[in-house]
Amino acid sequence: QVQLVQSGAEVKKPGASVRVSCKASGFRFSGFIHWVRQAPGQGLEWMGWVSPNNGGTYYEQKFQGRVAMTRDTSITTAYMELSGLRADDTAVYYCAREFWDAAVAPYGYALDVWGQGTTVTVSS
């Protein structure tokens, strides 16, 4: 079964760091893993991606300097660490697999498998 399973909810104080894990199973752990967050009552916000192949990353500029996306291929798990937490980082954090369909190249990219989401609450 193709799935991404994320770690459980976290409560953090302002200024702390949080690390969310995303365990992949049922597929080859090679395509990009993206991270997307959603603040309460708000829309989806794309954060960046990590490449399981070589560990390469690409971050939304807003998060640069505060986010680190990594992976451990031996256990097919991706991680997202966010530091310097603020109240407005309170959100559900999702990981998602990038999908590629060669039949509609070069446009066939999308996020087709999503984790269940991890709630991160930042509160003093």
Min dist CB 91 to other proteins, Å, is 13
Q: Counting contacts by CB under 8 A, is residue 114 touching other proteins?
A: yes
Min dist CB 21 to other proteins, Å, is 16
Longest CA–CA span in the chain (Å) reads: 50
Interface pick for other proteins out of 14, 15, 65, 101 (rule CB under 8 A): 101
Of 7, 12, 1, nearest to 78 (Cα)?
7
Rg (CA), the chain: 14
Min dist CB 74 to other proteins, Å, is 26
End-to-end CA distance of the chain: 39
Q: Counting contacts by CB under 8 A, is residue 25 touching other proteins?
A: no
DSSP state, residue 26 = S
Task: Tell me whether residue 13 or residue 112 sits nearer to other proteins (CB atom).
Answer: 112
Question: Under rule CB under 8 A, how many of the chain's residues touch other proteins?
Answer: 27
d(C-alpha 2, C-alpha 25), whole Å: 6
Residue 70 dihedral angles phi and psi, to the nearest 5°: -135, 175
Stretch of 14-22, 70-78, 79-87, 95-103 contacting other proteins, by CB under 8 A? 95-103
Q: Counting contacts by CB under 8 A, is residue 111 touching other proteins?
A: yes
Site string for other proteins, 33-52 (x = CB under 8 A): -x-x------xxxx--x---
Other C-beta atoms lying within 10 Å of the C-beta of residue 99? 14
